[in-house]
Chain A
């Protein structure tokens, strides 16, 4: 079992009923894409707000795995990893 701890930003808490942290139980070695699929299964619609239909992380969304920025969904999620999702919005 691969436990991944997700920090949910305020902009996505309407999906998680306000939860700031969500723990995922993934089976075996997992990638960021697997973690987001599990997150979407529990909180339907969340994935499409942060990943487009081409599987790309949206332009003003950043994801960090153990504090290192993940550029694509093939980034490994090691056991016990912390996944941080951030909305990077600027301007008026």
Chain B
């Protein structure tokens, strides 16, 4: 099942790792040196704000962006250029046009542009919208090719088709070899591709299950929870979907179901998926109970990460250090991340406010922060 294109990329020479922990009540920062043994927790920033996502700019690591709102105040984006010591609000946050009749409820996703695109950021919103900044996140404009696409309304569906706190555009991916090729995904809506830098878009969902729809193999309307592009092979996409785990090897347009190898008692439902930075065949998921009324907790109360090293053909349970029983965790789609060290570190945050880390590619785990608010996103840089 693994393709000949899979390959290992060069290792980086980072000396530290920083985790941005975005929560329902603010932003915290965990930092460690390359050993990743001792962690220092700092924060909160924006105490009381709902921080849906926060990212360090890999092009200039002193810069961070955070997408935030409160229960009453509208959505905005904050920017720091001094590693979070000071923050400044965007002069023009992501917002739809007055003519659209739509309003951004919250900015949900942030993606920095490529190294060849200085100052470029993309943002995905709820309800589903795509925005771009060309000045490092100070001013944002809608990507009209998506937001005004004649099919957008059909793709996004109505209110009844959305996740409980509103439909979301997420997983904004840019091909590092050609920034005109982009992917976005929507819950609900599915995955969509642009080959002209966002001017036009088309669905890319063939082969992905959507068992909540009456039509077999529909063109759109799916519920991808998290879609990632392999850093080792940008032709390879993985997605953790509402209905399973899937892989796509471009230029093919039909996704392959790779969830069948998961244990039956665990299933293939979950929110996050993370990819090895140098091996396109290695990925991790955090399964959740998607049976009956969708508890979205660790199946059987036994938390575990599952890893595949062969592109999803087989999976191995990784749970050393986790509670063996009565661990009813939920890990949201942005709340699992990976670093780039040799012996990659894996991290995730739970909705019960714990951050867990592995510095041996998932073989063993330990908690590195507890007692935080509900965690929405964890990003390692």
Contact = CB atoms under 8 A, between A and B. Distances in A.
Interface in B191-207: none
Contacts of A89: 70-72
Given A11-B70, A44-B91, A89-B71, A52 B103 contact: yes
Nearest to A59: B72
Contacts of B101: 54
Nearest to A60: B72
B76 A55 contact: no
Contacts of A88: 72
Given A45-B89, A45-B91, A56 B103 contact: yes
B120 interface: no
A79 interface: no
Contacts of B103: 52-54, 56
A87 interface: yes
For the residues of B in contact with A, the DSSP-based class is loop
Q: Size range of the interface on B?
A: 10 to 19
A48 B74 contact: yes
B291 interface: no
Given A45-B89, A53-B103, A58 B72 contact: yes
B98 interface: yes
A48 B72 contact: no
B316 interface: no
A53 to B, nearest CB: 4
Given A53-B103, A54-B103, A11 B72 contact: yes
B277 interface: no
